[in-house]
Structure 1
Amino acid sequence: MLHFLPAPLRGLLASLLLALNTLICCWPLFAVALLKLLPIAPIQRALRFVMHGIAEFWIGTNKFWMKLVGQTHWDVEGLSGFDKQHSYLVTSNHQSWVDILVLQYLLNRRMPLLKFFLKQELIWVPVIGLCWWALEFPFMKRFSKEYLAKHPEKRGQDLATTRKACERYKTNPVSVFNFLEGTRLSPAKHAQQQSPFKHLLKPKAGGIAFVLDAMGEQLHSLVNVTIHYPQGNPGFWDLLCGRVNQVVVRFEELQIPAEFIGGNYDQDEAYRLQFQQWVNQLWLDKDAQLEALKQRYPAKPA
């Protein structure tokens, strides 16, 4: 509606609305989070629904300003059949910070609130880091292979963190989200990895394997998401300025193979190899899908 305004002015307005929305929503969220410290399971379960409702209101308000400042054309397929009574494992390719708002925009109130795996350092992001903590997003400490070689006692800490987070999720339906690539795609990272995929980084299977180990029987299905930006990968400022003209998203709901429920990814080498082969096939299919989408929706200038 405000697309006639200069882009920097739209970006400033959207930034103010986002900040105001966050500040308004964070206080009731923090208040409920403190009440949730009461060690009474039924009360904790009810308060999680309240907190999720606050988060969904925040996302809904973000959808409002995204529509206000931009004229994004959404080309979406497969967005049906989900509900809020089941738990899902969700994954997607990762190209931009915009990916997160795209997923929230499309999935808000269609399935349980997305819970992202976050780097531990993100807890220090002003206000929003505490909101993620209050909403029980799992914060992961990443260790390099060199560090683990010197400190073997740290090995398996990610699995323990995942299990602890997933244990809390068993009382309420949840959508556990994981970017399999672990980081955003860039030409430099793609070259450094020598990725065998044309449009993707190598997938890291351990994250979702730990989720399946911790709560596999609770998960209804895997939701495999593919995102493509025909005009090129946008930055967050582009979104705020309303310069994301088109977003192409494909959803695919897949049954989780029964043999992957409750396996031990760390200790069972045969299981680990089989699981990695399954994930690699998902990524091969996604790479082919992205190639087809890039052919169908060729790059356009912003």
Structure 2
Amino acid sequence: MLKNIQMIMNVFLVMLNTAFTSFVVSILAIIKFVLPFLGVKVAMSKLANKQMWLWATINLWLLNVNNKIDWQIEGGENLSKDQWYLLISNHLSWADIVILSSVMKDKMPMGKFLLKHSLLYVPFVGLACWGLDMPFMRRHSHEYLVRHPERRNDDFDAINKACEKFRRVPTTMISFAEGTRASQEKMATAKTPYQHLLKPKTGGVAFTLNAMNELLNGVVDVTLAYPENRENPFDDLLKGRMTKVVVNIKLHEIDENLSGDYFNDKTFKRGFHRWLNGVWQDKDDFLKGVYSSTSDESQ
């Protein structure tokens, strides 16, 4: 009963924090729309990012107040808030967005996520995300694209348009390369060579990388784990049951593995596949160590 009450209170506070942030950023978005001058757009984008930082800061405070978390964060010392990054991460739970924002907020520019286009119509939240220059993805079905082949590049165009805006203000673009959460159910049926991960989808990562290539100072590779809360990390987070969060951060420099035309250069495409699959294999090996050590401790 007590845990349910705590969960209700936590949900209310998180929603209140999110609603306030959405309201403020929406106002900034309206100003940017009404006064479409470059100086105004840059100023409003910077203010929106600061509001997003405040949202993440309050969330981190709520996490620590309501949970006794053993934070195990490794890496990220050489990152800067004045540079541009592409962040790739494994995806386990809705908790990932809160954790990533909270952990990375003082290390690098506030992150932008690839969002479903339907979120654009959610009151305040959609307008706020638009104000934060987050790209909205339509993710057309194969059947739709067969009927409308001219819409095949909609998602790529959305990313490219967003990346043009990112030139104005230091930005981190976040990609959950697996495309979906690696839940226990999905892992049981997925054809994946990894023990703890789904296969990464290279196309979206490659296009974002290509669109931001001139700006990028590096690719930030984050591995997340909730070793003692693997079943329901988001629920446990809200109920005050989260006990350990593992965040491993690596920085990959932009080199020949990351600079090329993925869609027209077959040699580069094969090399990029090898590189990303190698990154995912390293993640999987890291997670094996995390989960095995947790299992040993519980015995």
Specify the TM-score bucket, using the shorter chain as the normaliser.
over 0.9
Q: 1:300 to 1:119 in 2, by over 3 A?
A: farther
Task: State the Cα distance separating 1:133 from its structure 2 match.
Answer: 2.0
Change (3 A) 1:299 1:161: farther
What amino acid sits opposite 2:258 in the alignment?
Answer: F
* C-alpha contact (below 8 Å) 1:230/1:299 kept by paired residues: no
1:110-163 CA-to-partner distances (Å, cap 9, x unmatched) read: 210100111222334453333222211111111333443343222222211110
Whichever residue aligns with residue 234 of structure 2, its letter is F
Between stretches 119-128 and 130-139, larger displacement belongs to: 119-128
CA RMSD in angstroms comes to 2.0
Task: Letter of the 1:30 partner, please give it.
Answer: S
Question: Within 5 A, what are the aligned runs for 1:22-101?
Answer: 22-37=18-33, 38-101=35-98
Question: What SS does the aligned partner of 1:217 have?
Answer: coil
In structure 2, the residue matched to 1:7 is 3
Task: Give distance in 1, aligned partners of 2:246 and 2:141.
Answer: 34
In 1, are the aligned partners of 2:114 and 2:137 still within 8 Å (CA)?
yes
CA contact (8 A) 2:21 2:51 kept: yes
Equivalent residue, structure 1, for 2:253: 255
Do structure 1's residue 174 and structure 2's residue 166 form an aligned pair?
A: no
Q: Whole-Å Cα distance in 2 between the matches of residues 208 and 33 of structure 1?
A: 27
Q: Which amino acid aligns with 2:134?
A: F
| Superposition deviation, residue 214 in structure 1 | 1.1
Mapping 1:211-290, distance limit 5 Å: 211-231=208-228, 232-258=230-256, 260-261=258-259, 263-290=260-287
Equivalent in the alignment of 2:191: 194
- Pair 1:108-2:105 in alignment: yes
For 2:190, the aligned partner's letter is: Q
Aligned residues: 296
- Pick one of 147, 159, 162 that aligns with 2:156: 159
Contact map agreement 1:195 1:202 (CA 8 A) in 2: yes
Equivalent position SS for 2:187? helix
Cα deviation code 1:202-247 (max 9, x no counterpart):
1011112111221212111111111111121434332111111111
**Alpha-carbon distance in 2 for matches of 1:121, 1:300:** 44
For 2:41 and 2:150, the matched residues in 1 are separated by 33
Q: Distance in 2 between matches of 1:26 and 1:157?
A: 26
- How far has the Cα of 1:253 moved from its partner? 0.9
Q: Whole-Å Cα distance in 2 between the matches of residues 43 and 98 of structure 1?
A: 34
Q: Distance in 2 between matches of 1:162 and 1:213?
A: 10
Q: Rate the CA distance shift 1:91–1:135 in 2: closer, same or farther, 3 A.
A: same
CA distance in 2, matches of 1:46, 1:282: 37
15-24 or 51-60: bigger deviation: 15-24
Instruction: Name the aligned partner's letter for residue 245 of structure 1.
Output: T
Instruction: Report the secondary structure of 2:274's partner residue.
Output: helix
Q: Is the 8 A contact 2:160 2:211 kept in 1?
A: yes
Deviates more, 1:151-160 or 1:92-101: 151-160
**Runs of 4+ more than 3 Å apart:** 124-127, 144-147
2:29–2:128 CA contact under 8 A, matched in 1: no
The structure 1 residue matched to 2:139, chosen from 142, 161, 168, is 142
One-letter amino acid of the counterpart of residue 159, structure 2 = T
Q: What secondary structure is seen at the aligned counterpart in 1 of 2:208?
A: helix
SS at 2:217's partner residue? strand
Q: TM-score, normalised by structure 2?
A: 0.92
Whether the 8 Å contact between 2:226 and 2:233 is mirrored in structure 1 is no
In structure 2, distance between residues paired with 1:186 and 1:201: 9
Q: Which runs of 5+ in 2 are unaligned?
A: none
Residue 18 of structure 1 aligns with an amino acid whose one-letter code is V
Q: Determine if contact 1:14/1:66 at 8 Å carries over to the other structure.
A: no
